Amino acid sequence: GLFYAFGFCGHGFQLGPGVGDVMAELISTGSTRTLISPFDIRRFTDPTAIEMPLMSSLMSTGKLV
């Protein structure tokens, strides 16, 4: 399996520790408690390939759940 986490621009020092925790969980267990599907690389080639519960909630109710 190939696991990747990149594209942090200038925010890498802030996001790195949290992303490292999530990646360690993903690598060791095969899943995460944190929703990571909105960051799936496939969103650039096939936007329908990922789940977007926050966006769906915002579009349908006008509120983030």
pTM: 0.64
Give the pLDDT confidence score for residue 6 in this predicted structure.
87
Residue 9: both structure tokens together:
């621009």
Distances (CA, A) of 38 to 14, 27, 34, 41, 52: 19, 18, 11, 9, 6
Mean pLDDT value across residues 40-59: 68
Dihedral angle at the C-alpha atoms of 36, 41, 43, 49, nearest 10 degrees? -70
Please compute the mean of the pLDDT values over residues 22-50 and round it to a whole number: 85
46 three-state secondary structure? coil
Residue with tokens 């599907």: 37
Q: Is the pLDDT of residue 13 over 50?
A: yes
Residue 64 has pLDDT above 50, yes or no: no
